[in-house]
Amino acid sequence: METVITRVVVNDGSAPDWEAVMRDRMTAAESSPGWIGGSILTPEGDANARVIMGLWESRDAWQQWHEDPAFRDTAERLKGLESDAGTPTWHQVVYAGGLLQA
């Protein structure tokens, strides 16, 4: 299991639209093979920054999600809403708390 974390910067005034698109993206990802879960975070004191955390079974599953039409649709919708789309960073999951409990 791996976590991908990306810090993005949204344009002034674009946060509500950006967040709506990202909620659509994460909801669509729920049906993608290998998706475990994720969060969208706003760092304290950095109103235009967002941190996206996705938990995946593998990087290959994440890569295949990027070929999905739902992902590509949301990528188009995000254009113009971000001043920095960020760079994904990968992290091995050491402990996931109660995330995997039934």
- Residues 28-85 have pLDDT tens digits of 999 999 999 999 999 999 999 999 999 999 999 999 999 999 999 999 999 999 999 9
The CATH label, of 3.40.1180.10, 3.30.70.100, 3.40.50.20, 3.20.20.100, for the domain at 2-95 is: 3.30.70.100
pLDDT tens digit sequence for 5-33:
999 999 999 999 999 999 999 999 999 99
HEC states along the chain? CEEEEEEEEECCCCHHHHHHHHHHHHHHHCCCCCEEEEEEECCCCCCCEEEEEEEECCHHHHHHHCCCHHHHHHHHHHCCCEEECCCCEEEECCCCHHHHCC
Evaluate if pTM is beyond 0.85.
yes
